[in-house]
Amino acid sequence: MYVVGTAGHVDHGKSTLVKALTGIDPDRLQEEKQRGLTIDLGFAWLELPSGREISLVDVPGHERFIKNMLAGVGGIDLALLVVAADESVMPQTREHLAILDLLQVRRGLAVVTKQDLVDEEIRDLVKEEVADVLKGTALEGIPIVAVSAVTGEGIPELLKTLDDLLEETPPRTDRSRPRLPVDRSFTMTGFGAVVTGTLIDGSLSVGQEIEVVPKGLKGRVRGLQSHKKKVDTIQPGNRVAVNLSGVSHEELERGDVLALPRQLKPSTAIDVRLRVIPGAPYGVRHNVGVTFHTGSSESLARVRLLEREAVEPGEETWAQIKLEHPTAVLRGDFFVVRSADATLGGGTVTEPHAKRHRRFDAPTLRRLEVLSEGTPQDLIVQALEASQPGDLKALSAATNLALEDAQREIAGLLVDSSVVALGEGANAAYFTAPGWQSLKAKVDQALGEFHNQYPIRKGFPKEELRSRLGLTSPVFALALARLVAEGQVAEDGALVKLSSHEVQVKAEERQRMEQFVKELQVEPYAPAPQVTLDVDLLNLLIGEGRIVRVSDQVVFDSAAFKEMVDKVVQQTKEQGSITVAQVRDLLGTSRKYVLALMEYLDEQRITRRNGDERVLR
């Protein structure tokens, strides 16, 4: 299904034409019917001679309602530029045409209405004027059809021409990332919140969880309707009404976007290629305030020009848009900027989540050129350079490539070693080759500094290294596995070390360690060594298996510890249980050592306390 939108000056017969084509009056508001003036968006549908169904979006023509017009034309496949034969091209004809050009609507049909009010000569003259005003725009050369909505003259030709144009129009791409810019929100008794819009980038199904961006509200698709028919799934490129559960009508408004949870991140700073339209009344100066329109949303914003102080009508430049309100956009989305009284320009979003740039910075401008004109693989590399590691979904969103397209391009980058993959499939994390080398260098530096500072420690705590690298736990696990496989690091329980690291103990330290062990063996079940060791040397002896620390204050020689455990286990087996006093008598030691020993055996799940007794587990 396709969506066709009207455009044109006020009172040129757009709504009358829609009603003549569909039998549906698109003016749904009482005020519109009373004044005979379209104020907000109207919607209708029809079946063309071929049997193809299309949706029609009727937009207001009055200059006061341009923002409503902008909310309706963002998702159209084809434009009907309506020009009245008795007035010809007028100011809003030009402004609407400029907006269609900025939004790169490349398929259209010019309709000269009210031909019953003029003679043939005037009608043909108006056609020539329309053809002339279309020159230099995305709609240059489109068919021009004259009709009368009153007499029906020209309507069959219009329908056939529309059918022929749509036959050559490719369907909307399914990028597996549905977005529904909301243009209406209302409530229905017994059903709750309903929103409407033109679905793009993916399909929606009944039962799916959704997120309302930028508000972060969570809900579920309760029902779907298209042209008043219930459907279970709706494909991109369709007008659709979505009944939602979990959110209320009062929480929803035009400009919100329905998306799958965590797939669309709102932004307050975007890099764009800005074009000022030739007919703008004035240019755009650095830091000027504007209204920013994309999809069905609008936000106050400021334009930061990155390579000049001003851009004049007919010129274009790189800019950063600073938005007052978070807005959901993706790379490649089109936008329009307006002053209080005029459309100034618009263009294409290049970087939807931009960092603040220095102005007149050559590397920044080169990067934007690559993002604008680069190959899909260039875009993936640029996206990773901006934020790595990245997963498939994040790279698909950042580059506006369909998931399968992004996966194919990543595969090519892996072949030529431009990108490094950690893991496989949907859970894989990707780095650029330089980004991976940079991470390895950070690991080398962190572990090297640690080993130099603590040469007798076996390794660095893994969790501390993960935090220092700024990686999530899943990505860190993948990175660590690869670093181990590459031979850069080695794991030791909760510790990690450089593979080349060997514990280095000074001779005097080793001598003290040996003396400490000897003193433990003097009274093995009640050791009281005179030599004291710092925690690193104690841990080294523990790691070597020569001592066992059962509490902060009690350490046993390993052989003695094994003897004690064997005796306790044997007597407990014979008796069925054992008390602290019995262990004291069995080992001929003091209560201090017995308590520490038995609590340690409880911790190690060798014994279990049951009142004053211990039993084996």
pLDDT 10s digits, 445-492: 999 999 888 888 888 999 999 999 999 999 999 999 999 999 999 998
Strand extents, DSSP E, 423-520: 429-432, 460-461, 489-492, 495-498
- Assessment of whether the complete model's pTM goes beyond 0.75: no
How far is 36 from 13, CA to CA, in rounded Å? 10
Q: What is the residue extent of each domain of the chain?
A: 2-167, 179-259, 267-365, 366-417, 511-616
Q: Are 29 and 39 in contact (CB under 8 A)?
A: yes
Contacts of 305 (CB under 8 A, 6+ apart): 274, 284, 285, 286, 287, 311, 317, 318, 319, 359
The predicted model gives 114-134 an average pLDDT of: 95
Work out whether the CA dihedral 336, 337, 340, 343 comes out positive or negative: negative
Q: What are the phi and psi torsion angles at 228 (to 5°)?
A: 65, 15
The predicted model gives 322-327 an average pLDDT of: 96
Mean pLDDT of the chain: 90
What percentage of residues in the chain have a pLDDT greater than 70? 97
Within 10 Å of residue 579's Cβ, how many Cβ atoms? 15
How much is the CA Rg of the chain, to the nearest whole Å? 36
Torsion, CA 204, CA 206, CA 207, CA 209, rounded to 10: 30
Degrees to nearest 5, angle at CA 30 with 24 and 31: 115
CATH class of 2-167: alpha beta
Closest to 345 measured CA to CA, from 313, 305, 304, 320: 313
pLDDT 10s digits, 226-283: 988 999 999 999 999 999 999 998 999 999 999 999 888 999 999 999 999 999 999 9
Q: Are 62 and 92 in contact (CB under 8 A)?
A: yes
How far is 5 from 78, CA to CA, in rounded Å? 6
Domains 2-167 and 267-365 alike in fold? no
Length of the chain measured in residues: 617
Give bridge partners of residue 38 from the DSSP assignment.
none
Q: In CATH, which of 2.60.40.10, 3.40.50.720, 1.10.730.10, 2.40.30.10 is domain 179-259?
A: 2.40.30.10
Above 70 in pLDDT, residue 28?
no
Q: Are 111 and 83 in contact (CB under 8 A)?
A: yes
Residue located via tokens 């260098």 = 441
Give bridge partners of residue 305 from the DSSP assignment.
319
Above 90 in pLDDT, residue 440?
yes
CATH number of 511-616: 1.10.10.10
Query: Buried b / exposed e across 399-421, counting CB within 10 Å, b at 16+?
Result: bbbbbeebbebbeebeeeebbbb
Work out whether the CA dihedral 116, 119, 122, 123 comes out positive or negative: positive
* 32: confidence class by pLDDT, cuts 50, 70, 90: very low
Closest to 483 measured CA to CA, from 496, 464, 468, 469: 496
Query: Which superfamily is assigned to 267-365 in CATH?
Result: Translation factors (2.40.30.10)
DSSP 475: H
Residue located via tokens 């809900």 = 219
* 552: confidence class by pLDDT, cuts 50, 70, 90: confident
Above 80 in pLDDT, residue 56?
yes
94 three-state secondary structure: helix
Q: Which amino acid is it at 202? A: G
User: Is the preceding omega at residue 313 within 30 degrees of 0, hence cis?
Assistant: no
Above 50 in pLDDT, residue 568?
yes
Work out whether the CA dihedral 236, 242, 245, 250 comes out positive or negative: positive
Residue 547 backbone class (left: φ over 0; alpha: ψ -120 to 50; beta: rest): beta
How far is 44 from 34, CA to CA, in rounded Å? 20
User: Among 35-39, 82-86, 101-105, 223-227, where is mean pLDDT lowest?
Assistant: 35-39
The predicted model gives 185-211 an average pLDDT of: 91
Tokens for 126? 């108006």
* 65: confidence class by pLDDT, cuts 50, 70, 90: low
